Every structure is written in structure tokens, then in C-alpha cells.
């Protein structure tokens, strides 16, 4: 592409020199230029079309164990120098030194190929996409009383440079569509929700049928009109492929982030080489998967993303690392340093986190379960990494009776303890699928993440329903 860099390299070098002037060991510039378009449809009409522009730089300076950080939306030499001085002052009150920085530009790494940039697609075409979604969901049945849908795309160009000579850049395109349907019946209202998000261009809509997605949301809402209260208590739980990645995200993903581990705030601290899960489980975090929601060519500290095996056949292999933790412990960065925007400090984050296929036929997993719960869609979750206790919601679920999927259940949360649940995975399917796009929150920052897993069974999980 013919676009210029977010900041010219000589200005980056000058900024790094200012940042290092108080004797810091490390300085970094992260500059971004992001344009986004979003639109929302609700109650039958496209209510509003929005455009956004975010542009600025965050300067990080590390001296000893102290990190100083400042950011600015002013990318002029004066604006960058002021931010660099603020970051340097924040990191230290120390003596001045002069350090020079020689930047080594790296070729832009490409993991995603964008065929049709969403920014080049007429807004009217995007509006029409939402209208098709609305019509499809409403056409799914007379019980559908309300539909809302949203579309958004963004293109973010970033430049990352640091005092170790790194100079990298990336160009990230995202497209997201969501639909929510409300069905009304004798027992009140129920909801269904579907979302589709990729780091690809508009061509995703050639492959994926958004009307089918809308009908799926409508079907979920309609099915739940006949739902009975979910059971209360511990039962075997079968989770459908491509919906349960959030289980691993919460049950162990966060606990494998090196910052939690370093502070002894993870149940998985000090357990490398130990059996921490059922031997069926191999867990991978991979930010380089083409087109996925958590994908990025380089992480937000400039390191190439890669495939990291976290748990192999149940044994803990490694944690996920950012620059600060890796540098401190002499470990190689794993491409997991991420931040929400130039206004935020990077930290250890997941990208696309998934469990590889196991040996079982998914139909056999259900058939082998006498009495339990089948979860067809999970909602969000939350974990306490230190105790390992975590919850996650079920937004579409059914009773399993005598090896058959039966009546639909109302929504609820499930609760479990990470290490226990990982050990209790007793069947793992051979039907791997990625799930819906997610946003992972940590320390006030949200970043896009992906997840995936084959159909699996946990032999016991506590279901937070109201039925005896």
C-alpha cells in the first residue's frame, strides 16, 4: 500500500533519544492511526452511521523496575518530544545521559491478505447488509418481536520502535457483524445472539452467510420460549464444538499469563512440567492464524506472533510472555504483549486460544452421557486467577437424558475451579471449530481474542439454575 508510515523513522529516532535522556535502559514508541466505521440497526431501521479517527502515540520508558508511560494525540515533533519527556520523567528522577539509537527496519509481516478493504466498500452496501440481517431474523418466525444488528470495520496502522533497534509496522483490518433477536411468548421474552468477526476484508461476506447467522439468532431466541429452568447442582456437561473456548480462556488461559505467574497470583505458578489437565488436553495460543479475530502479525511490542503450545497432553509446557516479563526472566518473548490502544501500556494477553482435537466422535460423547447438560452456546466468563474459581454463562443449553439431547434450558451461570475442571475433561471430540469473536478484559483494557475447541465433556460442573 502506498500509505506513509504513521511517523517518519528519523522522528522516531529523535523521540527515542529524548525518552532515553534520563538514563533509562529501554524506550519504546507505539504510534497508531486508526479509522473506523460503524452502524447500528434497531427496531427495523438503521439508526445511525458513525465514523471515527484515532491517532496518537504512546511512549514507554523503563528504568530499573519502573515503567514510565505517556501518550499524546499530537504527532508533531514537539508533541512527541513532550510525551517522551513526560514518560522519561515518570520513569526516573535520575541523571541525564546521551544514548543513540540505530533502528533496523523490518519488512512488514503479512499474515492476513485483504482482498477488498472495507474502507473502499460504499456505506450504502454496509447498510444493505444490516437490512438483510434484519429481514432474515424477522422472517424466521412470528415470535420474533425485535431485532438489533450492528456492523463495524476498522483499519489500524501501527508503528512500533524501541531502543533495542526494533522498527516494525503492521496494518490490521477488522470486520465485525452482530445480531440479537428477541422472541416473545407466553413465558416472557427470550434472546438469541450471534456474532461474526475476522481480521479480513469485505470478502468474508462471500464465504459467510449473514442471513443464516440472523436466522440462527432467531432460532435460539424462539427455542428458549419453551425452556425450562436450568438444573441446580453438579452434573456432567457436554459443550458443543466452537462454543466452549471461553471455558479454557477462563479456566487456565489467564492463569498462564506470565505477569500473574510472576506475582504468585496464579494457581499455575511453578507448575511447568507438571500434569495440570486431563491428558486429552493440548492447549495452544496462536496469534498468527490467518483471518482470526485475535490475530495480529506482530504483537503490540513489535514481536512476531507465533504458535505457542501452553499445555501438551495435559502437561504444562510454558506460559505466555510480554517484553517486560520475558526480559526480566531471560525468556524469549512469545508475541503476547498487547494493548487496547496507544493510550494503554502493553501487558501479557491471549490471542487465539484453542484446544486441539481429541479422539472421540461428538455423537458418542452425547450418547455416553446418561443425565447431564448439553451447552450449545456459552456466554461470557470471569476468573479469579489466584484461586482458580471461574464462572461462565450458558446462553443456549439443553438437558441430556439417556444419551439424547432433550428439552431446552433457561440461561444461567456455571461455576468451577480451573485445575479441577481441566482434570475432569473425560471426553474430547474430533470436530474442532473456532468460536465467535470475543473481547477479553484485563486491568481495564479490552483486546480482541479468538477461541476454539472440539466438542468435549466435563464430568462434573456446578450449574447455577433454579430447578431441583
**Least distance between another protein and beta carbon 151 (Å):** 11
Cβ nearer to another protein, comparing 362 with 393: 393
If binding is defined by CB under 8 A, does position 65 make contact with another protein? yes
Taking the complex as a whole, how short is the minimal distance between the CB of residue 31 and another protein, in angstroms? 13
In angstroms, give the least distance from the CB of 44 to another protein. Answer: 8
Candidate residues 171, 312, 384, 426; the one interacting with another protein per rule CB under 8 A: 384
Residues 386-425 that bind another protein (CB under 8 A): 386-387, 389-393, 410-417
Q: Is 370 in the site for another protein (CB under 8 A)?
A: no
Q: Which of 13, 17, 25, 74 binds another protein (CB under 8 A)?
A: 74
Sign of CA dihedral 269, 272, 273, 275: positive
Q: Which of residues 249-278 bind another protein (CB under 8 A)?
A: 263-265, 267
In this chain, which of 29, 31, 90, 210 binds another protein, going by CB under 8 A? 90
Q: Is residue 72 within the footprint of another protein (CB under 8 A)? A: yes
Does residue 278 contact residue 311 with C-beta atoms inside 8 Å?
Answer: no
Per CB under 8 A, the list member of 8, 10, 45, 274 interacting with another protein is 45
Residue with Cβ nearer another protein (116 or 413) = 413
d(CA 198, CA 71) in angstroms, rounded, equals 28
Q: Which is nearer to another protein, 165 or 270 (CB)?
A: 270
- Rounded-to-10 torsion of CA 213, 177, 201, 139: 40
Binding mask 4-43 for another protein (x = CB under 8 A): -----------------------------------x--xx
In this chain, which of 106, 116, 146, 306 binds another protein, going by CB under 8 A? 146
Which of the residues 205 through 244 are near another protein (CB under 8 A)?
224, 230, 232-234
Among 9, 51, 139, 401, binds another protein (CB under 8 A): 51
Q: Which of 143, 195, 306, 382 binds another protein (CB under 8 A)?
A: 382
Taking the complex as a whole, how short is the minimal distance between the CB of residue 442 and another protein, in angstroms?
Answer: 12
- 458 contacts another protein (rule: CB under 8 A): no
Residues 273-332 that bind another protein (CB under 8 A): none
Positions 153 through 192 that interact with another protein (CB under 8 A)? 182, 184, 188-191
- CA-based nearest residue to 90, from 44, 22, 32: 22
Which residue stretch of 68-76, 199-207, 398-406, 451-459 sits at the interface with another protein (rule: CB under 8 A)? 68-76
Q: Determine the size of the site formed for another protein (CB under 8 A).
A: 78
53 in contact with another protein (CB under 8 A): yes
Q: What is the CA radius of gyration of the chain?
A: 24
Compare residues 116 and 382 and give the one whose CB is closer to another protein.
382
C-alpha cell of residue 179: 445480531
Q: Which stretch binds another protein (CB under 8 A): 6-14, 105-113, 426-434, 457-465?
A: 457-465
C-beta closer to another protein: residue 304 or 419: 419
Q: Whole-number minimum distance, CB 300 to another protein, in Å?
A: 16
Among 24, 27, 80, 86, binds another protein (CB under 8 A): 86
Partners of 150 in the beta sheet?
40, 178
> Are β-strands 433-434 and 412-417 bridged in parallel, bridged antiparallel, or unpaired?
unpaired
Q: How far apart are the first and last CA of the chain?
A: 61
Question: Based on CB atoms, which residue is closest to another protein, 86 or 136?
Answer: 86
Q: Which of 55, 138, 307, 459 is close enough to bind another protein by CB under 8 A?
A: 55
Residue 168 or residue 235: which is nearer to another protein going by CB? 235
The nearest distance, CB 225 to another protein, in angstroms, is 10
Distance of alpha carbon 8 from alpha carbon 377, whole angstroms: 47
Sign of CA dihedral 335, 339, 342, 344: negative
Interface with another protein in residues 113-142 (CB under 8 A):
123-124, 126-127
Dihedrals phi, psi of 350, to nearest 5 degrees:
-80, 165
Amino acid at each position: 500500500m502506498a500509505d506513509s508510515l504513521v511517523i517518519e523513522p528519523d522522528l522516531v529516532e529523535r523521540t527515542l533519544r529524548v525518552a532515553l535522556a534520563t538514563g533509562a535502559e529501554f524506550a519504546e514508541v507505539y504510534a497508531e492511526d486508526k479509522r473506523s466505521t460503524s452502524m447500528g440497526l434497531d427496531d427495523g431501521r438503521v439508526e445511525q452511521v458513525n465514523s471515527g479517527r484515532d491517532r496518537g502515540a504512546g511512549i514507554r520508558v523503563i528504568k530499573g523496575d519502573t515503567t514510565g508511560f505517556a501518550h499524546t494525540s499530537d504527532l508533531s515533533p514537539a508533541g512527541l518530544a513532550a510525551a517522551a519527556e513526560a514518560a522519561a520523567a515518570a520513569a526516573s528522577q535520575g541523571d541525564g545521559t546521551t544514548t543513540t539509537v540505530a533502528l533496523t527496519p523490518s519488512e512488514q509481516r503479512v499474515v492476513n491478505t485483504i482482498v477488498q478493504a472495507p474502507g473502499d466498500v460504499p456505506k450504502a452496501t454496509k447498510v444493505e447488509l444490516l437490512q438483510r440481517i434484519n429481514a432474515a431474523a424477522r422472517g424466521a418466525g412470528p415470535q420474533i418481536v425485535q431485532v438489533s444488528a450492528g456492523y463495524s470495520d476498522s483499519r489500524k496502522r501501527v508503528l512500533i520502535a524501541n531502543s533495542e533497534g526494533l522498527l516494525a509496522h503492521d496494518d490490521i483490518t477488522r470486520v465485525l457483524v452482530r445480531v440479537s433477536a428477541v422472541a416473545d411468548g407466553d413465558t416472557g421474552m427470550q434472546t438469541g445472539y450471534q456474532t461474526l468477526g475476522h481480521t479480513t476484508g469485505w470478502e468474508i461476506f462471500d464465504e459467510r452467510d449473514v442471513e443464516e447467522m440472523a436466522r440462527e439468532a432467531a432460532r435460539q431466541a424462539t427455542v428458549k420460549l419453551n425452556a425450562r429452568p436450568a438444573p441446580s447442582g453438579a452434573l456432567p456437561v457436554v459443550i458443543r464444538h466452537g462454543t466452549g473456548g471461553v471455558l479454557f480462556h477462563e479456566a487456565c488461559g489467564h492463569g498462564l499469563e506470565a505477569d500473574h505467574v510472576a506475582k504468585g497470583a496464579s494457581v499455575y505458578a511453578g507448575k511447568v512440567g507438571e500434569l495440570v489437565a486431563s491428558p486429552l488436553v493440548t492447549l495452544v495460543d496462536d496469534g498468527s492464524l490467518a483471518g482470526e479475530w485475535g490475530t495480529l502479525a506482530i504483537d503490540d511490542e513489535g514481536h512476531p506472533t507465533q504458535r505457542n503450545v501452553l499445555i501438551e497432553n495435559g502437561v504444562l509446557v510454558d506460559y505466555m510472555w510480554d517484553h517486560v516479563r520475558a526480559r526480566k526472566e531471560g525468556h524469549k518473548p512469545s508475541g503476547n504483549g498487547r494493548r487496547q490502544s496507544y493510550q494503554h501500556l502493553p501487558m501479557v494477553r491471549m490471542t487465539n486460544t484453542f484446544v486441539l482435537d481429541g479422539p472421540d466422535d461428538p455423537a458418542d460423547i452425547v450418547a455416553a452421557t446418561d443425565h447431564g447438560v448439553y451447552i450449545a452456546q456459552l456466554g461470557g466468563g470471569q476468573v479469579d486467577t489466584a484461586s482458580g474459581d471461574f464462572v461462565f454463562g450458558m446462553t443456549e443449553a439443553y438437558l441430556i437424558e439417556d444419551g439424547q439431547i432433550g428439552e431446552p434450558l433457561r440461561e444461567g451461570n456455571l461455576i468451577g475451579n480451573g485445575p479441577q475442571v481441566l482434570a475432569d475433561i473425560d471426553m474430547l471430540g474430533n470436530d474442532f471449530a473456532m468460536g465467535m469473536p470475543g473481547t477479553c478484559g484485563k486491568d481495564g483494557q479490552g483486546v480482541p481474542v479468538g477461541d476454539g475447541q472440539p466438542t468435549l465433556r466435563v464430568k462434573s460442573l456446578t450449574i447455577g439454575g433454579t430447578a431441583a
